[in-house]
């Protein structure tokens, strides 16, 4: 055993063994974590491609802005996937059985933080602008959410620069706090945009059963689309803060950007199904307002721009809605009788 250790780690002098080289980092909490994250992200990337295919088949009439969001997400996620694949290939294939390679950080690993941040920022800007179009009175909170993403992008850009300048594993870990700060900013941005949207929906209750059911459906839909992104962000943040001496958090961070991209595409692709249930009106940006349920404080949004309009309501609107409720019930009764 002593001969084996001497062969693997050269020692100094004839006394107790003193390694010339520092202990190599474990594979489990370094490349192993990145490998697992890459496996999961590849699955999510396949889902992104499927959703993008559906989007371009179903919503070719969307505005240039919305299509630009989708195309940008596709480009960034494709590059991000290539970089993640290069990381694991470099360490586990190109440098197979060369454990000393773990002491250095490959260029694709250094670029991963800023690339992930760009993908997240695109999705967050989409969600923030959608919230602004629903309720401009929350423009300050929306601005704070966007500012958080800009700050997050600044942290990850600095982390990428320092990672490229300090190519050692120890040097990379020394600036891991920048990734933690970036994740914290993304969590704040997530909470702000989701909270504002839910608050707007809750204030849109009218007391009419059918309308309030629509509002409840929209709130549940909003929570579901924002919950997964928040959970993954918080998980990566906790891992980065609790275990700063490894890069397990990087494996989770690799997945985050794919979760955001899928959330954005899911919002766009579910517009027709939501419109079919009378929950929202049709339009290019998915859940961006409320159909037939709002308060006078919320400004109008053109239906050709955002798929859920927020019109002002009057007493006659409520009377008409109650009449429509009765008409729908009569239609159901008539169709039942015809079926019999």
pLDDT in tens, 253-265: 999 999 999 999 9
Residue 287 predicted with pLDDT over 50: no
* pLDDT confidence of residue 226: 74
Asked if 248 and 242 count as a contact pair (C-beta separation under 8 A), the reply is no
* pLDDT confidence of residue 294: 38
* pLDDT confidence of residue 23: 65
Give the torsion sign (CA, 208, 210, 214, 220).
Answer: positive
- Contact residues for 68 (Cβ-Cβ < 8 A; gap 6+): none
Report DSSP letters for 287-326, one per residue: SSS-SS---TTSPP--TTTSSS------HHHHHHHHHHHH
Q: Which residues face 19 on adjacent strands?
A: 11
Residue 193 predicted with pLDDT over 90: no
Asked if 38 and 85 count as a contact pair (C-beta separation under 8 A), the reply is yes
Residue 270 predicted with pLDDT over 90: no
How far apart, in whole angstroms, are the C-alpha atoms of residue 22 and residue 135? 57
Residue 115 predicted with pLDDT over 90: yes
Q: Which residues face 104 on adjacent strands?
A: 168
* pLDDT confidence of residue 201: 75
* pLDDT confidence of residue 276: 60
Higher pLDDT, 314 or 245: 245
Confidence class of residue 171 from pLDDT cuts 50, 70 and 90? confident
Q: Find the mean pLDDT for residues 195-215.
A: 73
pLDDT, tens digit, 9 for 90 and up, residues 55-91: 999 888 888 989 999 999 999 999 999 999 999 999 9
Burial of residue 97 (CB within 10 Å: 0-12, 13-18, 19+) is: exposed
Residue 320 predicted with pLDDT over 50: no
Higher pLDDT, 22 or 137: 137
Higher pLDDT, 322 or 160: 160
Q: Find the mean pLDDT for residues 131-145.
A: 85
Would you give the DSSP letter of residue 11? B
Confidence class of residue 182 from pLDDT cuts 50, 70 and 90? very high
Alpha helix segments (H runs only) across the chain: 2-8, 31-58, 64-89, 107-134, 139-165, 169-174, 176-202, 209-242, 248-269, 271-276, 315-339
pLDDT, tens digit, 9 for 90 and up, residues 4-33: 344 444 444 554 554 555 566 778 888 999
Q: Among 255, 265, 252, 256, which residue's Cα sits nearest to residue 41? A: 255
Residue 338 predicted with pLDDT over 60: no
Confidence class of residue 163 from pLDDT cuts 50, 70 and 90? confident
Chain length of the chain: 340
CA distances from 277 to 200, 272, 281, 287 (A): 21, 9, 10, 13
* pLDDT confidence of residue 278: 53
Higher pLDDT, 316 or 202: 202
Of all residues in the chain, the percent with pLDDT exceeding 90 is: 36
Residue 298 predicted with pLDDT over 50: no
* pLDDT confidence of residue 245: 85
- Contact residues for 66 (Cβ-Cβ < 8 A; gap 6+): 59, 268, 284, 285
* pLDDT confidence of residue 157: 93
How far apart, in whole angstroms, are the C-alpha atoms of residue 210 and residue 321? 9
**Range from 94-98, 194-198, 316-320 that averages highest in pLDDT:** 94-98
The tokens 């800007």 sit on which residue? Answer: 125
* pLDDT confidence of residue 129: 84
Question: Which tokens belong to 208?
Answer: 């009419």
- Contact residues for 293 (Cβ-Cβ < 8 A; gap 6+): 204, 205, 206, 211, 212, 214, 215
- Lowest-confidence pick of 75-84, 104-113, 287-296, 327-336: 287-296
């Amino acid at each position: 055993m002593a001969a084996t250790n001497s062969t693997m780690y050269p020692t100094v002098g004839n006394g107790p063994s003193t390694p010339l080289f520092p202990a190599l980092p474990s594979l489990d909490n370094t490349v192993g974590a990145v490998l697992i994250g890459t496996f999961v992200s590849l699955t999510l990337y396949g889902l992104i491609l499927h959703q993008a295919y559906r989007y371009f088949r179903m919503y070719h009439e969307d505005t240039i802005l919305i299509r630009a969001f989708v195309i940008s997400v596709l480009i960034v996620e494709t590059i991000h996937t290539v970089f993640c694949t290069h990381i694991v290939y470099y360490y586990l294939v190109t440098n197979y059985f060369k454990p000393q390679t773990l002491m250095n950080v490959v260029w694709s690993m250094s670029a991963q933080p800023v690339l992930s941040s760009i993908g997240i920022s695109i999705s967050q800007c989409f969600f923030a602008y959608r919230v602004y179009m629903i309720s401009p009175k929350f423009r300050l909170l929306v601005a704070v959410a966007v500012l958080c993403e800009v700050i997050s992008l600044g942290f990850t850009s600095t982390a990428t620069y320092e990672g490229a300048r300090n190519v050692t594993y120890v040097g990379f870990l020394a600036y891991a706090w920048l990734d933690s700060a970036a994740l914290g900013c993304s969590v704040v941005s997530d909470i702000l945009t989701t909270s504002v949207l839910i608050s707007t929906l809750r204030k849109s209750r009218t007391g009419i059963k059918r309308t309030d059911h629509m509002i409840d459906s929209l709130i549940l839909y909003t929570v579901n689309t924002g919950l997964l992104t928040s959970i993954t962000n918080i998980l990566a943040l906790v891992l980065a803060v609790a275990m700063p001496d490894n890069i397990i958090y990087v494996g989770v961070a690799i997945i985050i950007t794919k979760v955001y991209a899928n959330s954005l595409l899911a919002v766009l692709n579910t517009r027709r199904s939501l419109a079919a249930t009378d929950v929202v009106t049709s339009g290019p940006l998915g859940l961006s307002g409320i159909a037939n349920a709002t308060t006078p404080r919320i400004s109008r949004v053109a239906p050709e721009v955002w798929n859920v309009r927020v019109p002002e309501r009057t007493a006659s609107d409520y009377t008409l809605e109650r009449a429509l409720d009765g008409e729908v019930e009569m239609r159901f009764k008539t169709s039942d009788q015809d079926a019999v």
